[in-house]
Structure 1
Amino acid sequence: MVSLEEIIRGRRSIGKVKNEPVPKELIEKMIEAAVWAPNHFATEPWKFVVMTGEGRRVLGQAYADIAADTMQELSEEERALRLEKEVAKAYRSPVVIAAVCVPSDAPRVDAREELAAAHAAVQNLLLMAHASGLGAVWRTGDPAYHPKMKAAFGLAGREQIVGLIYVGYPDMQPSAGKRVPGTEKTAWLEG
């Protein structure tokens, strides 16, 4: 059995995956791991939208709608090619999970802590993907935060996407990980 330390140290962003279906049970296992992330006041400030098959078209169309705003100077042919490439982004893996922060409106809740909890949920999800033999990459960037992306997923109020997680069986060899040792990033205040 692989230890938790090995899972944490072995997880890498896997951007190239096979176009093979991923069993629903594995995706549900990843999401179940995600919902066990720490969160202040037990608000559980997250929800997940799982896209497979043509369900990924919602994401692809959002990418295209966002990109269309910047294509005024392109010819019709160039525009069509670019929009096709934008839609194709949603099909880079057989499963895409939109992780959404749903912050509580309770007066004592700090929105920053809600975001931190949603990010922790994504990390749990990624660790479970790796432990399950899957490859995953957490994508964000300007399109993820764009109002048109929010609208595509029917998000309201302060709800926001914190990540688009592309999941599948790895089709690449990840690079070796390297980190500065924790001891070099730690200050001890002792009495």
Structure 2
Amino acid sequence: MSASLEEIIRGRRSIGRVKDEPVPKEQIEKLIEAAVWAPNHFGTEPWKFIVMTGEGRRVLGQAYADIAEESVQIQELPEEERKLRLEKEVAKAYRSPVVIAAVCVPSDNPRALLAEELAAAHSSVQNLLLTAHANGLGAVWRTGDPAYHPKVKQAFGFEGNEQVIGLIYIGYPDMDQPVGKRTPAAEKTVWLEG
């Protein structure tokens, strides 16, 4: 018996450790197909997805290294240490067999607000994560300064106002499912009734 939508929502957790085994392309396509069904104002569909597997992950890894190389701490290291540190930065892109850069591509529709375009793109990532969980895959949505750095935009060949909203690392789980905890919804709800 398959899980209900509510069980999938409550059961999804960030899975940061995954096995180093390939995920079939059809599985990834299924996740992205779910992602594109997110709600979006005016039908703008303000998203795109860059899927990195195999050596395709090096594009992201090199961007991580290029960003790190700008830091004074890295520049002041002895050459051998600097080289090792930059290799560790590249290796971050290889933490899972699949990395998907979720990108917001805001519409030029004059009625579309950037905040709503970003909300729609973020909703697409939630669809992707829930579908990954429902299909036995582990995933974690990463951001942080490097995700928004101009060198990442350059690495992906962005033009205009495209922006990474998340780097989703995907694979088969190699850890126990974490237990979730949330504040009861009643404590976060205000009812205005007449």
Q: Give 1:154's aligned amino acid.
A: G
Q: Give 2:55's aligned amino acid.
A: E
Q: Is residue 117 of structure 1 aligned with residue 120 of structure 2?
A: yes
Give the Cα separation in 2 of the matches to 1:77 and 1:141: 27
Name the counterpart of 1:160: 163
Name the counterpart of 1:56: 57
Partner of 1:166: helix, strand, or coil?
Answer: strand
Give the Cα separation in 1 of the matches to 2:46 and 2:8: 25
Q: Give 2:54's aligned amino acid.
A: G
Name the counterpart of 1:190: 193
Give the Cα separation in 1 of the matches to 2:37 and 2:67: 33
Aligned-residue CA RMSD in angstroms? 0.5
Partner of 1:108: helix, strand, or coil?
Answer: coil
**Alignment size in residue pairs:** 191
Give the Cα separation in 2 of the matches to 1:154 and 1:46: 15
Partner of 1:29: helix, strand, or coil?
Answer: helix
User: Which range is displaced more, 16-25 or 70-79?
Assistant: 70-79
Name the counterpart of 1:180: 183
Name the counterpart of 2:38: 37
Name the counterpart of 1:74: 77
Deviations 1:135-165 (A, max 9, x none): 0000000000000000000111110000000
Shift in Å at residue 72 of structure 1? 1.6
Deviations 1:113-135 (A, max 9, x none): 00000000000000000000000
Identity %: 80
Deviations 1:45-92 (A, max 9, x none): 000000000000000000000000012211101110100000000000
Give the Cα separation in 2 of the matches to 1:100 and 1:180: 30
Aligned match for 2:99, one of 87, 96, 100: 96
